[in-house]
Amino acid sequence: MKTMQARPYVPKIFTLFLLLSALFFLFFSLQPHSQFFTKPPPGNQLSGEPDLRIRPGYSSYQAYIQRQLNKTLNPKLRKVWTTRDWERKIRVFATFFEELKQKQLLFNSSKALCIGARVGQEVEALRRVGVSDSVGIDLVPYPPLVVRGDFHHQPFDGDTFDFEFSNVFDHALYPKKFVGEIERTLKPGGVCVLHVALSRRADKFSANDLYSIGPLKALFRRSELVHVRRVDGFGLDTEVIFRKKKKI
């Protein structure tokens, strides 16, 4: 009689991992954000700029949101963001913010927003350089640094922030709404700082490609261009700063 050998545990462990991963994504897909982000924001969504190209392939706004969530909820990426990359990114962002303070574009008293903050390294960096009234928004919250929000429709009142920072302009499916929400929520005289990629194309989760700062100058209709410089910001190469015009 042949002796039956015990089956290896590896397939069982792999199956269990797949099941837990599926439950994890199902849990977040059933949260309020999946019901809230179902329709595209109103208004003209075409960029109208030859140097700003919207990537095709989205069958609906919900399909776009789900693609962004696939990156934001990736367990491996979130572990990297909160462990290996945590202090490294905070140090780099803190250097950027200290330079902005030296240029008097950011102050300890500023009420600041970081758009597309994921796990909030930018927010933590702001707080470490003395800007304590800071918060981030992303599709998935990361308390206490990041609250849930769609950057196409910020969950804040108008004229709320003195300072807004984002390095996810390339993830905006509707750049006009992205910029419009920044200008709506910035106080008159408030400053917006964008880190963008001009000399290289962004990752596969990007929704647009930017080839010059011309489209940004056209989109920021209620603001003045303050400063442009080259930077090395995690794959992004250009810093563009706008100041919202004061009301007359």
Q: Report the pLDDT value the prediction gives residue 233, as an integer from 0 to 100.
A: 83
Domains along the chain with CATH numbers: 52-244 (3.40.50.150)
pLDDT given at position 27:
45
What is the DSSP secondary structure assignment for residue 153, as one 8-state letter?
A: B
According to the model, what pLDDT value does residue 1 have?
46
Tokens 């700063």 appear where? 241
| C-beta separation of 91 from 82 below 8 A | no
Q: Token pair of 213, please?
A: 């700062």
Write out the DSSP string of 58-99.
Answer: -SSHHHHHHHHHHHHT-HHHHHHHHTTTHHHHHHHHHHHHHH
Low-confidence spans in the chain with pLDDT less than 70: 1-48, 202, 248
pLDDT digits (tens, 9 = 90+) for 48-86: 678 999 999 899 999 999 999 999 999 999 999 999 999
Q: Do 141 and 147 form a contact (C-beta atoms < 8 A)?
A: yes
pLDDT of res. 11: 55
Query: Strand, helix or coil at 208?
Result: strand
β-bridge pairing 161-166 and 186-196: parallel
Query: For residue 247, what are its two tokens?
Result: 């009301």
